[in-house]
Structure formats: structure tokens, C-alpha cells
Amino acid sequence: MTTTPADTWGLHESQFWLRGKQPEKRVEFAAELGMWNVYGHPEIEEILRDPATYSSDTTRLVPKELMPEADLETLSAGNLLQLDPPLHNKMRKLVSRAFTPKVVADLEPRIAAITHEMLDAVSTPGRLELVADLAYPLPVIVIAELLGVPPGDRYLFKGWVDKMFESSEQLSLVKKDEKQDEAIKKSLAGQQALRDYLGGHVDERRERPREDLLTKLVEAEVDGERLSRDEVVNFANILLLAGHITTTMLLGNSVLCLDTHPEWDERVRADRSLVPPMIEESLRYLTPFAAVARTTVREVELGGATVPADQLLMVWVAAANRDERVFAEPDRFDPLRDPNPHLAFGRGIHFCIGAPLARLEGRVALNILFDRYPALRTIQGEPPKFQVNPNMTGVRELPLTTE
């Protein structure tokens, strides 16, 4: 049996699906967290396709005492991820105009140029730290340039974003302890710093419009009304955040999948038409965003369980991506899997708006890596490091030898 990356590198204990295990129940109440876990593929599709029953507005269920300092309304205004219809449709239309297929496709030469520039700057011959050298800066520079904020400020954002995802504990709605309070405080401080930074840029665009996405958002109108400052800031905030960590993980995880499966490394290098399906399989096999959240607006039957109204659901798309009812031999890494209905980008109205960009960045960067280096192998004694947040699966540091 092939050793899984989870066994080899000790990935997060709670992510049982990475260790060849199916869940005992597809829908279960986690009493210690005060929320539900959903692990099954059909059950998750049911949730994601029914926003009238399963709302994305999770803030309404967060007890005030859990985040006493947070003004949740200000934080969630304009946050696409937390909006329900009809407001969601309006806001989504707005961003979709900025993320047209043409805007994304036109970025291809720029993505290639940044990738070469980053790799040219690597100082140690025969070695790469894939994340710091390429997988982190590339998507951040691309999204910063689109938004119109200086890509050189990425060292600032990184500090703030890292603060948001530092906690290795699952958030509990019922348990009150100092460790959790501290983690929430840190995360909110990171968010606030990023919002203040973006707020400054938004104010500047109001004074002096430019040819960038921030200006488009400032000038955009929904039903004849401009977006509020909070809405523009939060919107830019999720684009910057989403543009950050997820594509970084996608690149790192894909290289790691090929390191673990050298036979596929050889095949994909020899036949580049396999790069896109390999990326899809990597998204299924090591799903960067392991969970999304929803809340029930009424009592509902789901996967044989009765879930009362006003419950928080952790929707584990990463576990669904190993559901043996949908994927034959779910623990086998097989880029030729067809169809591959993975849920790594979600489903339904909140389907990832950045998916075409993430796929393009993945394809361009991986092809250039294969062209430039005869090998990309992990190094004995220098194992990769992973995100510690239990809702994520992805490398944080990936030292490689390239010879």
C-alpha cells in the first residue's frame, strides 16, 4: 500500500479522511464544539445547493461573548462568503464583472513573467523552498496587482494573514477558555490591520480614481447605490485573503502529490496535457480549504439526522472528496479520474469566483517548474511544514531539491 502524505508527514490528527478512514456518521453533532459536522458528498451537495435552508450568514450564531470586541456587522458587510440571496446575487454580479474569463485569461503572460522572475531570484543552486520562493508570492502579487495595491507590501499582509490562521484548535461555540479567547483576539487584530490598510487605499481611490479593481469597486453601483466603505473594504479583503493562502496551498500540494507518486511525476512531465487533470486530483486528494460553514434556518432532515433550526454546520468538503460512495478507491491519487466531481471550490451560488484564476496560476507555474527543473523532490531530514489550522490542508514550507 502507498504511504500517504498524512502518514509520512503527520498531517493534522483530526483530518481522518487523509488516513484512509471513512466517517462513522456522515452527519453528526459535536457536543464539545456546539456544532454539526457533515462529511458526506451527497449530503454536502444538498446543503450547498439549498441556500434558503442553509444560510451562509454564520455571524448571527456567534455568541457575542465569544468576540466581545468585534463589530460583526462591520466585519461582514459586503463579505460575499457570508451573504445570502438576494443580496448575494447582486454583489456577486458585481465581482463577476471584474473577474470575467477574459480578464483572467489575459493574466497568463503576467503570471508566467512573475514565475520566472521569482525563480531567477532563487540564490541556492539545486534547491528551492517552494512556498517562500514561488507559491506564496505569485498569487499575492497577481491579486495585489489586480486590486491595485503595491505588491511590495506583501510582507505586511503576510504578518496579518498569518495571525488570522495561527490557531491549531477548532473554534468551539460552547467552550470558553483563555487559549481560544487569545486566538480569537489575535485573528481579529490581524483582520483589523488588513482592513485599516485597505481602507486607506479605498479612501485614496475615492479621491483619485485609477485603472484598478479597487477603483471599480468604489465606483460600482448595486441598484443605483454605491457600495459603502465597509462593503468595499471587506470585498477587497476577501479577494486578497482568498488570493493568498489557497493558491499557495494548491501549488505546494500538487508538487507534494507528485513527490509522493513519482510514477505520476514522470507521466505528467512527459505529457503536459495531464497538468490540468492532475491539479484537479490534487485539489480532491489534498483539499486546501477543508471546510466551509453554513447555518440552518429551519429544522431539517439531513443524511438520516434531524438538525434543528439555528445550528452551525461545518461542511467538510475535504472529507466529501474521499467519500467512497462517489469516488472509487478514494485514497488512490489518480489524475485520470473521470469524472472528478470534487468539492474543493464548493458548489452552487458560492462556487469559488477565483477558481479560473487559481487553475490558471497552477497550470502556468507548474509547467514552468517542470521546464526549469529536472526534479522537484522533498529532502530527507527537512520535511515540509503544514498549516496548523484544522480547517486547512496545505504546505507552509516545502524545501525541495531540484536536481
Residues that bind ligand HEM (CB under 6 A): 56, 80-81, 92, 143, 238-239, 242-243, 246-247, 250, 288-289, 292, 317, 344-346, 350, 352-354, 357-358
Q: In this structure, are residues 249 and 242 in contact, taking their beta carbons and an 8 Å threshold?
A: no
Q: How far is the CB of 195 from ligand HEM (least distance, A)?
A: 16
Cell numbers representing residue 44 in the block = 454536502
User: Please, which residue, 37 or 402, has the CB nearer to ligand HEM?
Assistant: 37
Q: How far is the CB of 288 from ligand HEM (least distance, A)?
A: 4
CB crowding 78-108: b at 16 or more within 10 Å, else e: bbbbbbbeeebeebbebbeebbeeeebeebe
Q: In this structure, are residues 51 and 209 in contact, taking their beta carbons and an 8 Å threshold?
A: no
Q: How far is the CB of 297 from ligand HEM (least distance, A)?
A: 16
Strands 35-38 and 312-315: parallel
User: Please, which residue, 92 or 272, has the CB nearer to ligand HEM?
Assistant: 92
Q: How far is the CB of 298 from ligand HEM (least distance, A)?
A: 19
* Integer Cα distance of 329 and 332 in angstroms: 6
User: Please, which residue, 215 or 402, has the CB nearer to ligand HEM?
Assistant: 215
Q: How far is the CB of 358 from ligand HEM (least distance, A)?
A: 4
Residues whose CB falls within 8 Å of the CB of residue 200, separated by 6 or more in sequence, listed in order: none
Q: Of 51, 394, 110, 68, nearest to 247 (Cα)? A: 394
Q: How far is the CB of 362 from ligand HEM (least distance, A)?
A: 7
Q: How far is the CB of 345 from ligand HEM (least distance, A)?
A: 5
User: Please, which residue, 134 or 358, has the CB nearer to ligand HEM?
Assistant: 358
Look-up of cell digits 467538510: 316
User: Please, which residue, 55 or 402, has the CB nearer to ligand HEM?
Assistant: 55
User: Please, which residue, 359 or 402, has the CB nearer to ligand HEM?
Assistant: 359
Q: Give the residue nearest to ligand HEM (CB).
A: 354
65-70: long-range pairs with CB below 8 Å, 24+: 65/176, 66/173, 66/176, 66/184, 67/184, 67/188, 69/185, 69/188, 70/188
User: Please, which residue, 183 or 250, has the CB nearer to ligand HEM?
Assistant: 250
